[in-house]
Structure 1
Amino acid sequence: MKSLSYLNKYFFKYRWRLLLGILFIVINNYFAAKIPVMVGESIDILKGEKESTLGQSLFWTAISLAGLIILFNIIKGFFLFLTRQTLIVMSRYIEFDLKNEIFEKYQQLDYSFYKRQSTGDLMNRISEDVSQVRQYLGPGIMYTVNLIALFPFNLYQMLKINTELALYALAPLPVMAVLIYLVSNRMNRLSKEVQQEQSRLSTLAQESFSGIRVIKAYIQEKHARKNFETSSNSYLHKTMKLVRTNALFMPTISLLIGTSTLLTIYMGGLIIFGKTSNLKPGEILTFILIIYNLTWPFASIGWVTSINQRAAASQERINEFLKTEPAIKNPSKEPIEPFQEIVFKDTSFKYREDLPNVLSNINFKLKPGETLGIIGKTGSGKSTLLQLIVRQLDPTSGEILYNSEKLSAINLSEFRKNSAIVPQDVFLFSDTIYNNIAFGVLEDEEVSEERIVEAAKNAHVLHNVEAFSDKFETLLGERGVNLSGGQKQRVSIARALIRKPQILLLDDCLSAVDTETEEIILGNLKRLNQEHQTTSVIVSHRISSLRNANYILVLEDGKIVEEGKPENLLRKAGLYRELYDKQLMEEPNVFED
């Protein structure tokens, strides 16, 4: 339960709801304990075993007693309603706050954290784990307090009537609590197995839907169906085991309730006929009703314990995540100076200490209005270099300077507001094209249709958008599935251009467009660079994408093996010339002026 102590701050925040909920439970259980006594007394009064204190005829006495019992039940129900409106609503508020806290943490954590974690695990922490914790916050607390409040009231009434009969009546209840605990534990274990298998089944279905074109292209429908059937059979087998265990739950409770009821009737009868006490028939009925009152609270002990165990395990996972400190932090809230230069000084980077360097001894400068081209073979470190520029990663050694100040010391939020990156792996939201482009606009700026149209035009995607029946209101599927690869890249470029950044980073984002489209986009970028003094960094494996670069870095195995102006690199018999000649043979028209 130690991990659940993290939630104490939320209990304090909603302390009035918690305290009122406990008070309502106490009042509810006071009336719940009184109702069986009133029913028993009513029987004895009507049988003449006990004198009525109402001083009325038998008929009006019966009406009055029935009215009081109904009134007590109404009061009990009203306070039960108030209990749920305080404790259960409190649990929903805490669930809301906890999910927001986790999501806020997601926003703070750095890029390297997400490379280590699976998306499914992160989703489970904010959904399944929080749901398990909410069960502890709501039903767990409510039923625990309910038992603590109900048992003393009912025990007092039973002992007040007859101590010996009370011991017989209560004897099976501890046994019931232990058996329910054992059954609940087994149900908990089997439920987890069913959930895991259900997750696998859902994953198979989702992958089949997403990859249906690949499945059909390779004629793998039978293989996909076989995998799904195997998982379905496993899910069925585990679900049936859970159903069989679940079937033991109510019969176990019913057996022990019946045992307690039989003991009460039998021993009560012996006491009445043996006249060892002044026990009355109505009081035996009171005992039976009290037993039914105590049945669920005692049965819930195992269930609540199981809830608390699951909640503790889930909260431990949440705590572990919430205690994770981001490797990249914003060190300052001071405004930054306008961009003058970015300097890499002997910068190296590796993802882990036990791994080799991805980049080694990188040195170069970025100036306003310049276009830097970065080219190299796959795995040479091009994308990692871009991530260092926008400080998604920090260098392992060396330093990166922004206007002579360490990049790690300036206001990171302000720096990123002045930059925009188009990643290699283009991501579009399941939203309209308009909103996907407008996503690049800063929060404190207004977005207009004119700006959207201008950005789409500069990215040379406007004509494609206008060809859709809904134009900019066209709703995209998951990850922009209803767009071609080139269209997705150009929408992503429009998203970056609408920001009008000081620093624009393009990570091989023209790979899916044809050479004619590429030339138009590069021409627009060159014009925008000149108009707004934008600094561009273009990463590409195609030399044609770097035709407007002022300076080029050639990377190989994480090192700069060549650098200089494009015309100077062509004069050398190096890697750049080799790539140029190969691509010239493949696409001769690309390099013609």
Structure 2
Amino acid sequence: MKNAKIQGQVGMVTAFLNIVSQLILIGATGLLVFAGKISIGSIVAVLELSAKIFDSLGIVSRFLVAVNSTIPISQKIAEISSKSVTNNNQDTEIRQSFHDLKFEDVGFKYQVSNDYVFRHLNFTVKKGDFIQVFGKSGIGKTTLFKVITGELTPTEGKIYYNNTSTENMTYLDRSNLVQMVPQDGYIFDDSVEGNISLGRDVKRNSIDNLINELEIPKGDPAHFSGGEKQRIGLARALVSQDKLTLIDEGLSQIDIESARKFLNVINKYNKYAIIFISHRDDELKDVPHEIINLEESNIH
């Protein structure tokens, strides 16, 4: 907002100077025309030139404001990177691979509200766990995911990754341990394999296995249906076995039978840590899993 205000002020000053200069030039060249020193066509040429100059000044001012706007972002990135490098030696184990997540008496409420979304929430997630977040629509399931990823900070309680409090972790540390599979994952202008690997060093046979198990078709992903794109998003997450995977309605556009099949395939490996949100109860039928019940704020 500050930079937008500056840009507006610069634009007003530039426009004012443009008008004043145009009037001065018209007056000066008009006198020269009456004196027979220059032709009438020269007035038009001078006005065109002055307009281009001030237009260029306006463009330069917008670029300067845009550059200044990126400075705080660059400083923040540098700060995060610096903290990450500083903590590299002591937090190597934290940042390498997900082992467990622990909530201790965690509660959250938005600042604009006096009511807690959830409170006294206690649970632990480890490698091999498959957990469903249960509760009616609007109870706070997606909010819980945002607290887990660090997008939101808990109002009370403690959260631990690999036995380390999130208070002693950077956002980058946490992002190396957790990933999200949203309802609408982005598809890049690339092949199926490229959309799954995203440039990561992933063994080709691992990608091929996921393509077969999730029944991802061949062809251009840009022309895939919603359900087929969701399969790519799921495969994209499953190539990383060292992260906690949060699935937020990530199979909602896939038919129930296929969704069950895929979830059973994932569960049988016992090598992923998955927390799942779904509004289709049948989706998890016959899939062994535990429950985080937000209506009771504890784990069963």
Does the alignment reach a TM-score above 0.5? Answer: yes
CA contact (8 A) 2:150 2:174 kept: no
Q: Distance in 2 between matches of 1:298 and 1:510?
A: 60
Q: 1:461 aligns with which of 215, 229, 238?
A: 215
Q: How does 1:242-253 map to 2 (within 5 A)?
A: none
Mapping 1:96-245, distance limit 5 Å: 181-182=18-19
Q: CA deviation at 1:367?
A: 1.7
**Displacement, 1:425?**
3.3
Distance change in 2, residues 1:363/1:304 (3 Å): farther
Partners of 1:353 and 1:320 in 2: how far apart? 28
Which of 348, 363, 384 is 2:143 aligned to?
384
Match of residue 283, structure 2, among 533, 537, 545: 545
Q: 1:393 — aligned with what?
A: 152
Aligned amino acid, residue 263 of structure 1: A
User: Residue in 1 aligned with 2:72?
Assistant: 323
3-state SS of 1:342 partner: strand
Q: Does 1:494 align with 2:235?
A: yes
Alpha-carbon separation, structure 2, partners of 1:394 and 1:258: 68
Other-structure match for 2:268:
527
Give the corresponding residue for 1:202: none
Per the TM alignment, residue 435 of structure 1 is displaced from its structure 2 partner at its CA by 2.3
**Counterpart Cα distance in 2 of 1:182 and 1:421:** 54
Find 1:484's aligned residue among 225, 236, 260: 225
Gaps of 5+ in 2: none
Match of 1:263 in 2: 35
What is the distance in 2 between the residues matched to 1:409 and 1:403?
A: 12
The equivalent position to 1:403 in structure 2, one of 143, 162, 170, is: 162
Q: Cα distance, 1:370 vs. partner?
A: 1.5
Counterpart amino acid of 1:450? N
- Structure richer in strand, relative to its length: 2
Matched, 1:375 2:134: yes
Shift of 1:517: 0.5
Deviation at 1:402, TM superposition (A): 1.4
The whole-number CA distance in structure 2 between the counterparts of 1:363 and 1:311 is: 55
- Distance (whole Å) between structure 2 residues aligned to residue 352 and residue 359 of structure 1: 14
Q: Distance in 1 between matches of 2:203 and 2:128?
A: 26
Return closer, same or farther for 1:487/1:411 CA change in 2, 3 Å cut-off: same
1:336 is aligned, of 75, 93, 97, to: 93
> CA shift at 1:403, angstroms?
2.5
Asked if the contact 1:253–1:299 (Cα under 8 Å) also holds between the matched residues in 2, the reply is: no
The amino acid of 1:323's aligned partner reads P
**Equivalent residue, structure 2, for 1:196:** none
| Partner Cα distance (2:225, 2:101) in 1 | 35
In structure 2, C-alpha distance between the alignment counterparts of 1:384 and 1:493, rounded to whole Å: 21
Determine if the alignment matches structure 1 residue 563 to structure 2 residue 299: yes
Q: Verify the 8 A CA contact 1:370 1:534 in the aligned structure 2.
A: yes
Distance 1:253 1:433 in 2: 62
Percent identity among equivalent residues? 25
Matches within 5 A, 1:274-313: 296=46, 300=50, 304=53, 308=57, 312=61
Report the 3-state secondary structure (helix = DSSP H, G, I; strand = E; otherwise coil) of the residue aligned with 2:93: coil
Q: Deviations over 1:358-408 (max 9, x none)?
A: 333322111222112212221111122122222233223322111221124
Cα distance in structure 1, aligned partners of 2:68 and 2:101? 38
Q: Which amino acid aligns with 1:541?
A: H
Name the structure where helix makes up a greater proportion of residues. Answer: 1
Aligned match of 1:173: none
Which amino acid in structure 1 is aligned with residue 72 of structure 2?
A: K
Aligned with 1:323: secondary structure? helix
Structure 1 position 348 matched with structure 2 position 102: no
RMSD: 4.2
Distance 1:326 1:254, change over 3 A: closer
Q: Is the 8 A contact 1:344 1:365 kept in 2?
A: yes
- Partner SS state of residue 500, structure 1: coil
Q: 1:475 to 1:368 in 2, by over 3 A?
A: closer
1:574 paired residue number: none
Residue aligned with 1:332, SS: helix
Equivalent residue of 1:499, what SS?
coil
Shift of residue 550 of structure 1? 3.8
Q: Per-residue displacement from partner, 1:219-275 (whole Å, max 9, x unpaired)?
A: xxxxxxxxxxxxxxxxxxxxxxxxxxxxxx8x996785353144264xxxxxxxxxx
How far off its partner does 1:496 sit?
A: 0.9
Give secondary structure in 2 for the equivalent of 1:392.
coil
Q: Give the 3 Å change call, closer, same or farther, for CA 377–430 of structure 1 in structure 2.
A: farther
In the TM superposition, residue 183 of structure 1 has moved relative to its aligned partner by 7.6
Structure 2 counterparts to residues 419-434 of structure 1, below 5 A: 419-434=178-193
Structure possessing the higher radius of gyration over alpha carbons: 1
Q: What corresponds to 1:106 in structure 2? A: none
- 1:554 and 2:289 correspond: no
* 2:247 and 2:275 in contact (8 A); partners too: yes
Query: Structure 1 475/537 Cα, relative in aligned 2: closer, same or farther at 3 Å?
Result: closer
- Provide TM-score, normalisation by structure 2: 0.73
Q: CA deviation at 1:424?
A: 2.6
Return the letter of the residue paired with 2:299: E
Partners in 1 of 2:181 and 2:36 — Cα distance?
77
Is the contact made by 2:98 and 2:242 (CA closer than 8 Å) also made in structure 1?
Answer: no
Is the 1:375–1:542 contact (alpha carbons within 8 Å) kept by the matching residues of 2? Answer: no
Amino acid at match of 1:362: L
